[in-house]
Structure 1
């Protein structure tokens, strides 16, 4: 069996394992931590996107992301990382084309949207909207007026709920990406880190002039403790 097929088989097995536990509504979850020179962020991953959750945790467990860069940042939009070619990449190197050799099928949910702090999968312009196996972005975005949201809704692949409109108006995000890129997690602590990274001076292809390396880890923690420590409310 080829290396690529082995990767895909491992991913499918991992996702099946994740789905089975999600159905049992476990009392614990994986708290993801992203450390950077600009600060630390904590995230949760969504059970509604089991393929993306299993794949991301698998790569984190293998320390795949450690020392990779946030190689593309755009103020009022997002910060992107996960390109394996970015590790120790010399200054001026054009990044963003690196991959891991497989993609993840899109997992869209009307309940998951591009609010500020959303963790979403990058992708190329493929018709299935399949996600990169490794590259991701964290949403910064901006706040939108009601009139602007009406226009953005025509650009998005689905309508916004009233709750989503309220969040886009008061917290911010990138609403026009909804339904086109898979959202599979959320920053629950450290949103200001996204702001600091997004504000950095950039060069070609929006690469920061200052290298921003990441270290990502995960730790199993009770949902009650995550709620108590970070204020995140689980729906189940």
Structure 2
């Protein structure tokens, strides 16, 4: 496994929050990606951990990859919606949104996929990793005007230097971020795809919950490199 490289880019990438307690490693056939789950979104954190333990993401795939946007993994929308159509008696089960103003779609963010339900509730078995692109002030100004919301200065700075997908903010739940292996996520997002954004070569991943000892080691590494900038 490649060693952790902490740079100014990563310092900008990581959310300004208190040290988090839960880490998950996506073991892919391209290399590994380690993700820190946010304690600020405990319901999504626990829902994802439960899904991992129950095997919902065993041999899952990044099955919808849109370059410079996101890499989506788990079940596709059509798979979920068609199953619900075949079994209307089960209803359309969604997970209540946990949208926080300080958790946003910067590069490396982990989000929960959803359909167009008015409550912005999440699917149980679909996630995505944000790649996005760097934004200009003009682009951010246009998003502010369209969505009638102000983008905080600190978030603007990250969108301008590291990148992301700011037009998705406040519409989807963000519940974690990459702390190791962003280069792997970039490589996955750059893969050749067909007209439906499906990678021509399958990208399989198996998420593994890091032990308490492993998580503590990660916390120490992040703090040593002053990744956590707000207590």
Question: Normalized against structure 1, the TM-score is what?
Answer: 0.78
Partner of 1:154: 145
For structure 2, list consecutive stretches of 5 or more residues without a partner in the other structure: 1-17, 84-91
Q: Which runs of 5+ in 1 are unaligned?
A: 1-25, 84-94
Q: Which residue of 1 aligns with 2:6?
A: none
Shift of the 179–98 alpha-carbon distance from structure 1 to 2, 3 Å rule, reads: same
Following the alignment from structure 2 to structure 1, what is the Cα–Cα distance between the partners of residues 187 and 120?
30
Corresponding residue for residue 92 of structure 1: none
State the aligned residue count: 200
Q: 1:195 aligns with which of 160, 166, 186?
A: 186
1:1-236 aligned at under 5 Å gives the runs 29-83=21-75, 95-99=76-80, 102-156=93-147, 158-221=149-212, 225-230=217-222, 231=225, 232-233=227-228, 235-236=230-231
Offset at residue 48 of structure 1 (A): 1.5
Deviation readout 1:145-176 (Å, 9 max, x if unpaired): 11111112234473211000000000010000
Once residues 161 and 139 of structure 2 are traced to their aligned partners in structure 1, the CA distance between those partners, rounded to angstroms, is 13
Bigger RCO of structures 1 and 2 (CA < 8 A, at least 6 apart): 2
Q: How far apart are 1:27 and its partner, in Å?
A: 8.2
3-state SS in 2 of match to 1:204: coil
